[in-house]
Chain A
Amino acid sequence: GNSVTQMEGPVTLSEEAFLTINCTYTATGYPSLFWYVQYPGEGLQLLLKATKADDKGSNKGFEATYRKETTSFHLEKGSVQVSDSAVYFCALSESPEYGNKLVFGAGTILRVKS
């Protein structure tokens, strides 16, 4: 079945450092790809998405590019802030026949120190 694998955390960075969180997927067909973020005490929020190969999703300084050849969707940010500390989930959506249910990775904890 479809699956998502993302790098284990926690990832600890200093403020203004460069961030990469790796995500790879296994899927039949052509899924859409997402990054969700969960801030402490809050619900999951959509951070960015990409619907087809070579699409780049971006939001709040975060970017991820849908790479079909490497089945990857790595999350990057050029300069992290303390407020970026959260848990980040990579996800794919399965066939619309099944309501586009999401398949999530295990999540990566990001801690940013000032």
Chain B
Amino acid sequence: GAGVSQSPRYKVAKRGQDVALRCDPISGHVSLFWYQQALGQGPEFLTYFQNEAQLDKSGLPSDRFFAERPEGSVSTLKIQRTQQEDSAVYLCASSPIPQGYEQYFGPGTRLTVT
């Protein structure tokens, strides 16, 4: 079946622009996670949804980062007034159970801020 998809795959933004990154989880998956992966590093947790509820946003690095999942399926990660340090790959993962025990990752969106 279809896996987790993310769009766009690549995004170049000028510093100060707003960007929106989309994640389509596997159909029926309850849990959804966003991670940020800097070059040469492992992914770092940003935020977690169980259905439409955002239960943990402790990893969001600043108030410029905002995520939503209004209908409990597709999620959008929005970054306002992008900075160069926001350049990274943004990964989305979904899981079929509430505690997200096994996570299925999308291919990621590579964001470059110039």
Residues on A facing B (Cβ under 8 Å): 4, 32, 36, 42-46, 49, 89, 91, 93, 96, 98-107
B66 CB to closest chain A CB (Å) equals 18
A-B CB pair tally, cutoff 8 Å: 65
Known interface pairs A43-B107, A46-B103. Does A106 touch B40 (Cβ–Cβ under 8 Å)? yes
Complex interface: chain A residues within 8 A of B33 (CB): 99, 101-102
Instruction: Evaluate contact between B41 and A101: CB separation under 8 angstroms.
Output: no
A103 CA / B58 CA spacing, docked (Å): 13
Instruction: Tell me whether chain A's interface is mostly helix, strand or loop, or mixed.
Output: strand
Residues on B facing A (Cβ under 8 Å): 3-4, 31, 33, 35, 40-45, 48, 50, 55-56, 58-59, 91, 93, 95, 98-108
Complex interface: chain B residues within 8 A of A91 (CB): 42
Instruction: Evaluate contact between A104 and B102: CB separation under 8 angstroms.
Output: no
Instruction: Evaluate contact between A46 and B40: CB separation under 8 angstroms.
Output: no
Complex interface: chain B residues within 8 A of A45 (CB): 105
- Known contacts A36-B105, A98-B56, A106-B41; 7 further A-B pairs (Cβ under 8 A): A99-B50, A99-B56, A100-B103, A101-B45, A103-B45, A106-B42, A107-B40
> Quick one: closest A residue to B33, CB to CB?
A101
Across the A-B interface, give the 5 residue pairs with the lowest CB-CB distance, nearest first: A104-B42, A99-B48, A44-B105, A96-B99, A43-B107
